[in-house]
Amino acid sequence: MVYNSLSGKKEVFEPLNPPFVGMYVCGPTVYSDVHLGNVRTFVSFDVIYRYLLHLGYKVRYVRNITDVGHLENDADEGEDKIGKKARLENLEPMEIAQRYANGFHEVLQQFNLLPPSIEPAATGHIVEQIAMAQKLLDNGLAYEVNGSVYFDVTKYNQNHHYGKLSKRNIEEMMESGRELAAQDEKRNPIDFALWKKASPVHIMRWPSPWGEGFPGWHLECSVMGQKYLGETFDIHGGGMDLKFPHHECEIAQSVGAYGKDPVRYWLHTNMLTVNGQKMSKSLGNSFLPHELFAGSHPLLDEAYSPMTVKFFMLQSHYSSTLDFSNEALKAARKGYKRMINGLRVIRKMTWQDDDGQPNEALQNQVEKQIAACTSAMNDDFNTALTIGQLFNLLKKINSLHSGQLKFGELGEDLFNRLKQTYMTFVEDILGLIEEKPAGFDELVEALMTLYREAKHAKDWPRVDEIRAALKENGVVVKDMKDKIDWAYDES
């Protein structure tokens, strides 16, 4: 089941052309570093992408780069965000776009996100954007004024519902927008730009049938979605803040141009907040990922690693708000370490033919826990519930490891499915990986050898010394009945 923002309910997910799935996620406007709020949205869609792949769908995942047309103000006013930065730094706009696109990729790699199938840039699709604006003019749903082209919302709304995604109605919108735009060249303040005439100082400009100008922000996603995924495709996503005006305008443009609803399932992620307020660059409450990794922001008690931060995000459902706090991150670090310790253990564990007798009640319980991981993800990609179910499986893994639970109680087939489920969900679906510095394995192995030797020689002061050295490297020794192992420190 998938929660569709358009219908406002959970729906069974049925792709248009199975096994193919088209998914479009609005990418960043590359005029500044991505902050942790932006990362949350991309982490959420990465898990959705990974899960659809896991289910066997052939997903074409398009995530665009907005490198033109996003003005400072959503009402089509102000400077282009990238153009402004280029002017202030005396650089080419494409230098700005490249710098922040590179930074964006680096950050997503640190969080172990998969790259999209196609990452188109708005500036690479100017010709198509002009063509779509022209089509809307031809269809009588747009008008030209003084070298700019605007979408005629009132006209569109005569036959369609402008506001159906964001659950607004045009009368209210007209009411609230009236005063602001007295001297506007638009026929109506709620109309939006498809193409804007470039003023003499505007740097980013292209020739068009209406003179030199640049595309409106919403047009790129309609054009690139249609070009790479078709006139109607399966999933379109982004943060909640994009529902209006961005996605509402996209629907109007596509319906106006092609006469079809562009998207079957609209998915919107909720906001990462700080003290209850949306994290945003303009509010000045945003952290950059590298500030988190270094613990260098005044709101941070200490540094947190990428996987800790990712685990923190996955512990909530994508449609709930998630409030940042040091306490929550510290708890997430423990959870992440626990989960990765389980991964280390299960990876090495193989079936053993011990003297355990089949325990039907236990087998039923584990069967249910395995099935629950899938049900949780099938329930609108509920990563929070999934993590809870994985911790249930982890208890069994740890009991097998310590010898409390015998392999024979589970049976070989169930053991193998338990192992497969845990590994697949942690690594392939949630995309969590073991974080360790270079040379870590060698160091720990060397210390563990010394530890075993010291223990064998009953040199207890040396045992304590080595134990302390391991602890300093984030490792605790596990002395078990018949073996010695280590684990990441969960404290």
**Residues near ligand AMP (CB under 6 A):** 26, 28-29, 37-38, 40-41, 238-239, 241-242, 269, 271-272, 278-280
Q: Report residue 34 as tokens.
A: 């991505």
**Residue 151 CB, nearest approach to ligand AMP (Å):** 20
Which one of Zn ion, ligand AMP, none is in contact with 342 (Cβ closer than 5 to 8 A by kind)? Answer: none
Residue 396 binds: one of ligand AMP, Zn ion, none (C-beta under 5 to 8 A by kind): none
Residue 213 binding target from Zn ion, ligand AMP, none, CB below 5 to 8 Å by type: none
CB of 28 to ligand AMP, least distance (A): 4
Nearest distance in Å: CB 39, ligand AMP: 8
In the complex with ligand AMP, the residue whose CB is nearer, 34 or 137, is: 34
- All residues at 6 or more sequence positions from 366 whose CB lies less than 8 Å from its CB, including other chains: 393, 396, 410, 414, 418
240 vs 362, beta carbon nearer Zn ion: 240
Q: In the complex with ligand AMP, which residue's Cβ is closer, 225 or 342?
A: 225
- The tokens describing 335, both together, are 């959870």
Q: For the CB of residue 26, give the shortest distance to Zn ion in the complex, in Å.
A: 3
CB-wise, 224 or 271, nearer to ligand AMP?
271
Instruction: Rounding to the nearest 10 degrees, give the CA dihedral for residues 83, 86, 87, 90.
Output: -160
User: Which amino acid, one-letter code, is at 253?
Assistant: Q
Smallest gap from Cβ 40 to Zn ion, in A, equals 17
Q: Which residues in this chain contact Zn ion in the complex, by CB under 5 A?
A: 26, 221
CB-based closest residue to ligand AMP: 239
Contacts of 190 (CB under 8 A, 6+ apart): 153, 154, 162, 170, 173, 174, 177
Do the Cβ atoms of 249 and 148 come closer than 8 Å?
no
**Residue among 286 and 389 whose Cβ is closer to ligand AMP:** 286
d(CA 194, CA 253): 9
* Nearer Cβ to Zn ion (64/286): 64
136 vs 313, which CB is nearer to ligand AMP? Answer: 313
Per partner kind, with CB cut-offs from 5 to 8 A, the member of Zn ion, ligand AMP, none near residue 400 is none
* Separation CA 459–CA 362 (nearest Å): 42
Say if residues 122 and 69 touch (Cβ distance below 8 Å): yes
In the complex, the smallest distance separating the C-beta of residue 44 from ligand AMP, rounded to whole angstroms, is: 8
In terms of Cα–Cα distance, which of 390, 461, 460, 464 is closest to 428?
390
> CA dihedral in degrees (487, 439, 426, 337; nearest 10)?
40
Judged by DSSP in three states, 58 sits in strand
Minimum CB separation from ligand AMP for residue 340, in Å? 25
Closest to Zn ion by CB, 93 or 238: 238
Rounded distance, CA 110 to CA 289, Å?
A: 9
The nearer residue to Zn ion, 26 or 142, going by C-beta atoms, is 26
User: Do residues 232 and 264 make contact, with C-beta atoms less than 8 angstroms apart?
Assistant: yes
**Which does residue 239 touch among ligand AMP, Zn ion, none (CB within 5 to 8 A, set by kind)?**
ligand AMP
Report what 410 binds from ligand AMP, Zn ion, none; CB cut-off 5-8 Å by kind: none
Task: Dump the DSSP string for 393-413.
Answer: HHHHHHHHHHTSS-HHHH-HH
Pairing outcome for strands 58-63 and 20-25: parallel
How far is residue 54's CA from residue 74's CA, in Å, rounded to a whole number? 38
Q: Check: CB of residue 370 under 8 Å from CB of residue 346.
A: no
Beta bridge partners of 277: 274
Q: Whose Cβ is closer to ligand AMP: residue 29's or residue 421's?
A: 29
**Minimum distance from residue 136 beta carbon to Zn ion (Å):** 17
What is the separation, in whole angstroms, between the first and last Cα of the chain? 37
221 binds, among ligand AMP, Zn ion, none (CB under 5 to 8 A by kind): Zn ion
The residues with which 233 forms a beta bridge, in sequence order, are 263
Nearer to ligand AMP, 218 or 396 (CB): 218
Q: What's the rounded Cα separation, in Å, for the pair 195 and 186? A: 12
Q: What is the Cα gyration radius of the chain?
A: 27
Shortest Cβ 320–ligand AMP spacing (Å): 11
The residue behind tokens 């943060």 is: 239
Kindly state the smallest distance separating residue 254's Cβ from ligand AMP, in Å: 19
Q: Least distance in Å: CB of 427 to Zn ion?
A: 30
Which does residue 278 bind out of Zn ion, ligand AMP, none, counting CB within 5 to 8 angstroms by kind?
ligand AMP
Report how far residue 450's alpha carbon sits from residue 466's, in angstroms, rounded to the nearest whole number: 7
